A = this chain, B = another copy of it.
């Protein structure tokens, strides 16, 4: 007997599965191809619902022209922000975040000081190039660093959804919040298994 009241499993998508070249190859060569292939598989699934936070959707439209997004995308992928006023997080996350940022800020200063000491050997332009890379690594990689990241976290909390993202920093934080997650490399098979 079919249970008519089965709740659908909710999945929140990060744009990385469509735009990150190291990740989207799973679905297609270009972003457009990746979206089409994803939709083809998504349509066949029986028990899944897909969501994209508004900010993440806007990010996607910077990479893919809106008129190249297939029309059924908007039926299959629901665009929705989390409720910023009704969702809450325990104080402990604020502590962990402030501590992590503090440590990274100190690291960023060491990177900058080391750049200042190296100008004499490497020259200004080479030093700045190197500084930007190392500063970015110290302060941005592996941590929640944008409103898109926060949207993905809180939308997953609000919907009790599974997060699909290639961003290891984001997945690490989602995991602290007790959010289900899956890496993009396993997501195609996940969709096939659900059809």
Contacts and interface: CB of A to CB of B under 8 A. Distances in A.
Interface of A: 82-95, 97-99, 101-102, 105, 108-109, 111-113, 115-117, 119-120, 124, 127-128, 131-132, 135, 139-140, 144-147, 149-150, 154
Given A112-B115, A112-B135, A95 B84 contact: yes
Contacts of A82: 91
Contacts of A145: 98, 101-102, 105
A15 B24 CA distance: 52
Contact of A108 (B90, B139, B144): B139
A140 B55 CA distance: 27
Contacts of A116: 112, 115-116, 119, 124, 127-128, 131
Contacts of A105: 108, 139-140, 145
Contacts of A83: 91
A129 to B, nearest CB: 10
A80 to B, nearest CB: 14
A156 to B, nearest CB: 12
A128 B113 contact: yes
A87 B87 contact: no
A169 to B, nearest CB: 12
B85 A144 contact: no
Contacts of A132: 109, 113
